[in-house]
Structure 1
């Protein structure tokens, strides 16, 4: 695409650790617009969707934290993304915790018959109110987008599901709850854990992912959680899990996606500058965006 539209979603309502609401600011401070300027004819930064500083509210029935407010803010995000796609621009969303993907996918998927999703993450984010150990909605967005979970979230935008399980590929998983493992087995979601990445190599994982999604989808959304990377490379995340994807493997993955030209929308989430080292994680996010959008070494 020739035009890029950046939307910040400074939401930290999906979990308990503060600071991830500053993720969009940290990514902008890492000069995301300057980095991507030569890769698009036009870049517009639409600013941040206002979230505010509300108190934590636990839904008495479901025990989910901030359910109604996340639903409301996700609706606003979905509407903004819908407008961006409608005018032919590429939506790039800066998070915020991973619960923002509920709104992102609600806004994107209405434009595709068979949207594909690459979930680049240490976690499956496939929990529900019944399986979640915490009640944190940032561990549920992929399940919600599959139509599994609380009706307020699954019916966002007036339709469900947003994506089919056979159109999803999870890359980098290494921390899955029991309920998530069961759901993966039941639905047949394609998952490349760190075992597969170690054994096959990232090049093979991405070759298979691209071939798999190319034959069954008409657009692909990339949802990249910075905790998919090893904490040595991306320390500024709320739920770090050691033994993750390396910085260089991640660049290769983004470069291969750029070559394949299959990505039609993207979000980079869970950058928490409070937990970071000199904005390292935000800078890594921006560097990966460069590779995703076609930056070349030569």
Structure 2
């Protein structure tokens, strides 16, 4: 990984229904993200937060089952521009969310710099819904589909190109809550998924080794998109859509340690930290601890 890390906060809560996740970037900074990475020898440039516009009364309702479409797309366009600038200056983009809809902008800013960008989607959910398949209309359940070029053109065409990733370059890890439309899309596009069944059966070491080997064959960079609800709610309670039976705290550290050893990660984001739903900033503290492992923190 590059020794220069640029942090971008995205205080977005418009992609989902439970308020408070806009405070996620501040919570992770408060939990010591910058100090932790500086202690590991990284040069940190905190670029502050993307300004998120609030939807007007005319935008409050859903637009064809897409809630806050205009505000979410505008914020992601700003994020894409900021991330693009970070990559161009040769720094490692580390994005702090915010709800998972921000991955639309992250990938839009990153993917143009790679021929075959890989994505590790560490999440309880597939985030592969569209306006037609989404039960809620919340855009935070759609960013991976959007990045595949599937969805509303206002979202898929952010940064003026589409798609951002190819289905064969995606690995989902930790899935345990998939809607029927998402299952169909996974089967149709041949997306590689390690559900909790595979993690339980194979163990996290084998899962990560297989994921890394799979991506190394076909990609020239890998973006890690880590949703804290990928972890079990007992370890990460401060998330908007918790799902029981998730990845443990220790398994997650192991996953990050194996990724660090592989040297394949070229950008990362940590999303869905909601301090209002949290216990004494526990989830933000977990996120920062996982950043430590991802960036090379060792016990000895």
Counterpart residue number, 1:57: 60
Cα offset for 1:40? 3.9
Q: Does 1:32 align with 2:19?
A: no
Cα offset for 1:52? 4.1
Cα offset for 1:271? 0.1
Q: What's the TM-score, normalizing by structure 1?
A: 0.98
C-alpha separation in 2, matches of 1:274 and 1:2? 33
Cα offset for 1:170? 0.1
Q: Give per-residue Cα distances to partners, 1:201-251, cap 9 Å, x unaligned.
A: 000000000100011000000000000000000000000000000000000
Counterpart residue number, 1:284: 286
Counterpart residue number, 2:188: 186
Alignment gaps of 5+ in structure 1: none
Counterpart residue number, 1:147: 149
Counterpart residue number, 1:129: 131
Counterpart residue number, 2:13: 12
Cα offset for 1:39? 2.6
SS, match of residue 100 in structure 2: coil
Contact 1:58 1:67 in 2 (8 A): no
Give the alignment partner of residue 262 of structure 2, picking from 255, 260, 282. 260
Q: Give per-residue Cα distances to partners, 1:73-102, cap 9 Å, x unaligned.
A: 100000000000001000000000000000
Counterpart residue number, 1:240: 242
C-alpha separation in 1, matches of 2:79 and 2:60? 21
Q: What's the TM-score, normalizing by structure 2?
A: 0.98
C-alpha separation in 2, matches of 1:198 and 1:40? 35
Report runs of 4+ in structure 1 exceeding 6 Å deviation: none
Aligned pairs for 1:109-258 within 5 A: 109-258=111-260
C-alpha separation in 2, matches of 1:283 and 1:59? 34
C-alpha separation in 1, matches of 2:12 and 2:218? 32
C-alpha separation in 1, matches of 2:88 and 2:194? 33
C-alpha separation in 2, matches of 1:40 and 1:51? 31
Q: Give per-residue Cα distances to partners, 1:28-61, cap 9 Å, x unaligned.
A: 010111111033441010111111443562344x
SS, match of residue 99 in structure 1: helix
Cα offset for 1:2? 1.3
Q: Give per-residue Cα distances to partners, 1:95-150, cap 9 Å, x unaligned.
A: 00000000000000000000000000000000000000000000000000000010
Q: Does 1:2 align with 2:3?
A: yes
C-alpha separation in 1, matches of 2:154 and 2:265? 28
Contact 2:134 2:141 in 1 (8 A): yes
C-alpha separation in 2, matches of 1:85 and 1:39? 21
